[in-house]
């Protein structure tokens, strides 16, 4: 395998929460990166943040990730051969007006379009596509908290097109499952010269490469975590798992560098619940003790809820998960700062 400085990684959704950390990790390791975003405006903040890397980072614009032809310019004249694609771009929001139009179709079409584009425009040097899916493609919402059950890579969310339009949470979970299945089906049908690896994180928490200026503009994961700040009570469990965004960013690159990761699914993360998060914050960040609800201390770890087995990523990729304490302390430093700035501005 050639050195990072002789390779270009193409990253879709590069201006997002996870995307920023993938760029940071790839550039730090010496890779050339072709970052894909929808508009030039959406690239400006990261252009500034990563300006010191000069022409090691280049940009391309894909206004619609579901249209194969939109990717043509992304593959043109890379500084070094494109050896891998990290596909992060996909809708992640519960605020939709039409589940099929806003979630299901874009996710499925986007997953297939990047593979079609890789086949159409990629060269023989392209060896792997990494699709970031979600724990949502594993979880069976019809089973509720499913106490005693452990989710792993063998699990698939049973939801299909016919049930996915019931509510936005079901539709989101179905969109991730349907998109991932469509990608694997495409690989099986087309048998391209590159392989596919899928990454399935649960909640993704941690600091933002570009910081936090407005709590009202947070991504879905960070918004869910930030609701603990100044809350009246501890929220109930939604997804009982998390991974630190810094671990996830590093893992994307480790997947590219690990031959044995090809053709594999990887479920990331470990247990998470809001009560345990509240306990950790109240104990370790004194200034937050009056701003985080007490709930029932210690009850989080005894809740009857499913477990997540993220050990395959540890074994195959060699990652070591960051403790929840570190993730929470760094996340809430940003949340508190943003809220303080908003209060001053008001």
**How big is the chain, counted in residues?**
346
CA 140, distance to chain mean position in Å, is 20
How many other C-beta atoms lie within 10 A of the C-beta of residue 151? Answer: 22
How many other C-beta atoms lie within 10 A of the C-beta of residue 87? Answer: 28
| Residue partners of 323: CB distance under 8 A and separation at least 6 | none
Distances (CA, A) of 210 to 23, 43, 200: 12, 12, 23
- Distance (Å, whole) CA 34 – CA 20: 13
CA 265, distance to chain mean position in Å, is 14
What are the backbone angles phi and psi of residue 196, rounded to the nearest 5°?
-125, 140
Q: Which helix (H) or strand (E) holds 242?
A: strand 242-244
The candidate with the shortest Cα–Cα distance to 197, out of 112, 259, 270, 110, is 259
- Distance (Å, whole) CA 152 – CA 302: 21
How many other C-beta atoms lie within 10 A of the C-beta of residue 183? Answer: 22
Distances (CA, A) of 96 to 104, 177, 178: 11, 18, 18
Catalytic pick among 176, 191, 320, 340: 176
Let me know if 312 is a catalytic residue: no
Catalytic machinery residues: 176
């Amino acid at each position: 395998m050639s050195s990072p400085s002789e390779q270009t990684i193409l990253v879709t959704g590069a201006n997002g929460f996870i995307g920023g950390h993938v760029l940071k990790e790839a550039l730090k390791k010496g890779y050339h990166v072709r970052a894909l975003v929808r508009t030039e405006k959406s690239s400006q903040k990261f252009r500034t943040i990563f300006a010191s890397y000069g022409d090691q980072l280049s940009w391309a614009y894909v206004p619609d990730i579901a249209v194969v032809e939109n990717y043509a310019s992304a593959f043109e004249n890379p500084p070094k051969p494109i050896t891998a694609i990290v596909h992060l771009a996909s809708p992640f929001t519960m605020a939709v007006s039409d589940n099929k139009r806003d979630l299901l179709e874009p996710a499925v079409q986007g997953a297939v379009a990047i593979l079609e584009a890789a086949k159409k425009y990629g060269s023989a040097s392209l060896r792997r596509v990494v699709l970031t899916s979600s724990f949502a493609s594993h979880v069976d919402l019809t089973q509720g908290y499913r106490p005693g059950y452990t989710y792993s890579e063998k699990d698939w969310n049973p939801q299909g097109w016919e049930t996915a339009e019931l509510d936005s949470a079901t539709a989101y979970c179905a969109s991730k499952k349907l998109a991932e299945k469509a990608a694997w089906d495409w690989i099986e049908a087309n048998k391209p010269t590159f392989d596919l690896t899928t990454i399935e994180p649960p909640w993704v928490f941690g600091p933002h490469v570009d910081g936090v200026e407005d709590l009202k503009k947070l991504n879905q994961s960070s918004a869910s975590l930030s609701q603990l700040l100044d809350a009246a009570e501890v929220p109930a469990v939604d997804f009982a798992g998390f991974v630190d965004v810094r671990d996830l960013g590093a893992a994307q690159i480790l997947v590219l560098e690990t031959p044995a990761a090809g053709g594999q699914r990887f479920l990331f993360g470990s247990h998470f619940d809001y009560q345990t998060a509240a306990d950790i914050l109240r104990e370790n960040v004194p200034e937050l003790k009056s701003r985080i609800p007490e709930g029932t201390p210690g009850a989080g770890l005894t809740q009857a809820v499913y477990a997540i087995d993220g050990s395959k990523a540890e074994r195959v990729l060699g990652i070591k998960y960051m403790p929840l304490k570190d993730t929470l302390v760094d996340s809430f430093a940003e949340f508190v700062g943003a809220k303080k700035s908003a209060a001053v501005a008001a």
